Structure 1
Amino acid sequence: MSKKKELSPELKAECEAAKALFVSKKNALGLTQASLAEAADISAAAVAMYLNGTNPLNPKFAAVLSRLLDVPVEKFSKRLAKEISGLTSGGEGSADAGLSAAELVRQMLTKQGKGLSEESRRRLLAAAESDDSTEIKYYQPGQVGDEVWIAHYDVRAAMGGGQIPHEYPEMLQDIRVSPKHLRDLGVTFKEHFHLKMITGWGQSMAPTIKDRDPLLVDITIREFTGDGIYLFSHDDMLYVKRLQKKGKDRFKMISDNKHHDIEEIRVDDTHILARVLYVWNGQPV
């Protein structure tokens, strides 16, 4: 795997300015990196990568940070302030002003989307049309009778050597399930809107989890709650593995595939993002 390219001095300076503002105001506002991650709908690891200058700031994260800290975006990034202004207003006198999200995406695809596959174009347009019709609630998907919608995120959690996580998950599709049926299957959770779907990749957790099996996770579990299978990041890689505590400062990272060795990792270097509750192949976890 090639080494991640270092940010330019300008982009790094934006990250440093954002981090300085966050550090200076977080105590007074009662903020943490975890609460910032929650508000931005990204992982705690992704927040750390922004604030530490590993990934460049983007408009979505900048807008959330600005709102939570009650500071204008230009306080840490004039570049993004200008970009966000253009996105929201279309610019003074612009022909884009007042267009819906779907219309803007159609224009973008016409001008710049020639290299995209038809499936990618369809998904982008579908997401934009969804934004026009209803605000997507991260924590509270809509309920239909006894069935509820559970968001399915394109987060490839590697059941092997690990994968670099996306800057933020892209919503692909939802599934509709009955909370009562889930509980009848033995799935334990407090609220249905704590649940999300992800996809595992690789063979190291077979036979419990096979390559590309959908996984039901509880995103409110952000710390070790006992032996089990977790979604977590370590060394900027994303994993789905069993974790067991070894002493106070180490985890055993365990693969169900016995051809893979048990590894030991430091608790301080491990960021738990969710706990796996159910594998959509009927396998208990």
Structure 2
Amino acid sequence: MKSNPDTVIIGNPNSGRAGDQDFLERHADVLRAEGLTVEVLNTERPDHATELAAAAGDRLVVAAGGDGTVNEVVNGLSPQATLGILPLGTANVLARELGLPLDVEGACRRILDGGETRVDLGVATDADGAERRFACMAGIGFDAKVVGEVSPRQKRYLRGLAFQVAAFRVLFMNRFPPVEITAGDRSHVARFAIIANGHYYGGDYKVTGPGLLTSGRLETVLVERVGSLLRPDVFWGIIFRRPLNNKMESFTAGEVSARSAGAHVPVQIDGELWGELPMSFRVDPAALRVVC
């Protein structure tokens, strides 16, 4: 990475230490000491990271924050740009997927000394034709409702526990209409679905086995009854980080679509709410160059 001297760090002031300009500048100095020229930019509003990443052109763009910040950056990156990550969020799913250090000092060293690889991206398309890329997953129904229940303040102070508390609240206080998931000429009905581009979910929980990020396919995990997540075999499998697709129906495909008749079913993309059904999802193979 030392051959690329042109670097932008994009920080989210709502992702803990990333909001401390001095904190990011100190780590930018670590990169500068090794010959990189580094500009540090803080976001000021939702989707600002996408604008900043688009303006960065074909440079090394480092997302300093959580998965939401990474997603915003990914949605602005030039195809010739390279993504680096300083993991400062709650789950840091893509960083885990890539095997990156989860401490900032280690992540800086990886930016300096690591290699590069290309990974797939998922692409969600809503009923109006708007598109959103995702690095990790899209969630339909239950987990999107959970994401909507957790405030930035709760996430900051409770971290992963905030989602666990919200999950139980959503589980017992909501109804989940059936969702039809279609791939090719086959249709499936579920109450909750995860469309995965990688095998980690919500931190170090696992949805699928490894290798999905470079497979050229998305894996859809179907939960027919949301309450079945509390079945002892499923619940303890989740707790012990066993892939959810071992207990639930799943399939791989390059493209899937989802709809729900007469119901408002939300969708989350990489841990942030993004619209509602109907929506389609496809894989864009080797679309993202990343430091690994």
* TM-score of the superposed pair, with normalisation by structure 1: 0.25
Greater relative contact order (Cα 8 A, min sep 6): structure 1 or 2?
2
Q: Compare the two structures and name the one with the higher strand fraction.
A: 2
* Structure index of larger Rg: 1
